Amino acid sequence: DAGVIQSPRHEVTEMGQEVTLRCKPISGHDYLFWYRQTMMRGLELLIYFNNNVPIDDSGMPEDRFSAKMPNASFSTLKIQPSEPRDSAVYFCASSPYRGGTDTQYFGPGTRLTVL
């Protein structure tokens, strides 16, 4: 299994530009999570999906952020317009559902720099 795949691995953009981060979860996993890692706040959950349906988006910082999961094998996190304070590492994770709290498998992350 290839694990969770994220692209791009690095993104450098200018303030005001649209940024799209992509994620392919592990096949067969029911849950998909988007996290943001910063020094000050650690790993923050932005949004998560169950069977392609958004369940909790309370961590999305503001309307500039949006996430979609059009099918079981693909999700996007979009920032429009981007701002320098959005600079962070963004992780996608997926987990199966076997009852209980299941292990989340993280992708390698996308390091976003907004100039």
* C-alpha distances out from residue 87 to 84, 94, 113, 114, Å: 6, 23, 5, 6
Query: What residue ranges bind other proteins (CB under 8 A)?
Result: 4, 31, 33, 35, 39-45, 48, 50, 56, 91, 93, 95, 97, 99-109
Q: In whole angstroms, how close is the CB of 36 to other proteins at the nearest point?
A: 11
Cβ atoms of 91 and 107 within 8 Å: the answer is: yes
Nearer to other proteins, 71 or 101 (CB): 101
Nearer to other proteins, 15 or 43 (CB): 43
Q: In whole angstroms, how close is the CB of 67 to other proteins at the nearest point?
A: 15
CA distance 68 to 52: 8
